[in-house]
Amino acid sequence: MAMTPPESGMDETGNDPRLAALYRAGCDAQQPPAHLDDAIRAAARRAVQAGPRRSNRFRRWSTPLSLAAVIVLSVTVVTMMREEGADRWVADDVRQLPPAPSSGIDTPDRAVVQPAPRTAAPAERRMEAAPSPPAVPAAPAERPQATKKSAPMPAESRVHDSQPAPPPAEMAALGQSAAPAASAAAEDAAREDRAAPAAPAPRALRRSAPAAAVADASRSEESMAAKQAPSMGASALAKARDDALWRDLEQQPAGKWLERLRELRRDGRNEDFARLATEFRRRFPDVTMPDELR
């Protein structure tokens, strides 16, 4: 049976001096250990010396920065993948083309043998090729001509001209890939241009190396990019998602946070609820979480 305390047994303040004195006598010796005192005081001083929390300043820019990083990363990956696809297409086409009758510069044998060492560093080539978008809109019909005459040189060609010595095999292959475009293989060339307009002739020449080596290199790069892209983007995405979750609550009182928590709980968004609840607890350690949100 539960005891019922008499109403008159306690004054309005609920104080009992005798019990209070006894409690003091029994408890006052219980103190936190000295090492905790030191640690807490040191943490308090560090917090003051660190000034305003970096995260407050950073938080303002974190969302746009995260979004920008994600966009740049995505564009880079997509561009690389596109180039890889186009290059492979061009390389296949070049390999399938019949040998050019004669360019007058070199023999077809050398054209096949010489480019091999150039495939040793495909990554560098791609980096060189990347900043040359002006080569993209090259008209399909003009491209073979341009490569033949080398008059309106694409940016990429100029880059390679600035290198020490353009290998003769490249010139040979130039004729090899250009000649069919003007001859009976014009249809193939047109198809190539339609399918891969971003692949200028010089890259096609570089890609005329043994197809297996090229394919291996591009495959390994693709797999590397595929491995790196999600891991780099995941944390940024998670951060952006977190920021978006409570961006509009940044300056709001605890009540608004609790309302949002209730909405999330009602909508069954448990993961968001958990993340927001954690953030809420971090920001408002003194606010008691209502029972229905526990």
Partner 1 sequence: MSNDADASDETLMLGYRNGDAGAFDRLYDRHRGGVYRYLLRHCRDAGLADELFQDVWMNLIRARESYTVQAKFATYLYRIAHNRLMDHFRRRELVAASLDDETAAPVEEPVAPRGAEPHAQADVRQQAARLLQLLDALPLEQREAFVLQQEGGLSIEEIAETTGVTRETAKSRLRYALFKLRQGMQPWQ
User: In the complex, which residues of this chain contact partner 1 (CB under 8 A)?
Assistant: 2-3, 5-7, 9-10, 12-16, 18-20, 22-28, 30-33, 36-37, 39-41, 43-45, 47-49, 51-53, 56, 281-290, 294
Q: Count CB atoms within 10 A of the CB of residue 280.
A: 20
What is the DSSP-derived secondary structure letter of residue 15? -
In the complex, minimum distance from the CB of residue 247 to partner 1, in angstroms, rounded to a whole number:
17
Minimum Å distance from CB 54 to partner 1? 12
**Residue with Cβ nearer partner 1 (9 or 137):** 9
CA-to-CA separations, 32 to 21, 27, 47, 49, in angstroms, rounded = 21, 12, 21, 25
Shortest gap between Cβ of 278 and partner 1 (angstroms)? 11
CA distance 60 to 267: 28
Nearer to partner 1, 39 or 224 (CB): 39
Q: Is 37 or 161 the residue whose CB approaches partner 1 more closely?
A: 37
Task: Find the shortest distance in angstroms from Cβ 26 to partner 1.
Answer: 3
The size of the chain, in residues, is 294
C-alpha R_g of the chain: 35
User: In b/e form, how buried is each residue of 223-238, taking b as 16+ CB within 10 angstroms?
Assistant: eeeeeebeeebeebbe
Query: Minimum Å distance from CB 62 to partner 1?
Result: 17
Measured in whole angstroms, the distance separating CA 144 from the mean position of its chain's CA atoms is 37
Judged by beta carbon, residue 124 or residue 291, the one nearer partner 1 is 291
Q: Three-state DSSP class for 229?
A: helix
- DSSP annotation of 100: P
Question: Toward partner 1, which CB reaches closer, 40 or 136?
Answer: 40
Residue among 17 and 164 whose Cβ is closer to partner 1: 17
Ranges of H-type helices in 151-197: 155-161, 168-182, 186-195
Report the C-alpha gap between 294 and 291 in whole angstroms: 5
- Smallest gap, in angstroms, from Cβ of residue 262 to partner 1? 16
Question: Is 37 or 248 the residue whose CB approaches partner 1 more closely?
Answer: 37
Asked if 122 and 218 touch (Cβ cutoff 8 Å), the reply is yes
Question: Nearest approach, Cβ of 25 to partner 1 (angstroms)?
Answer: 4
- Closer to partner 1 by Cβ: residue 47 or 130: 47
Q: Is 197 exposed, middle or buried (0-12, 13-18, 19+ CB in 10 A)?
A: middle
Closest separation between CB of residue 11 and partner 1, Å?
A: 10
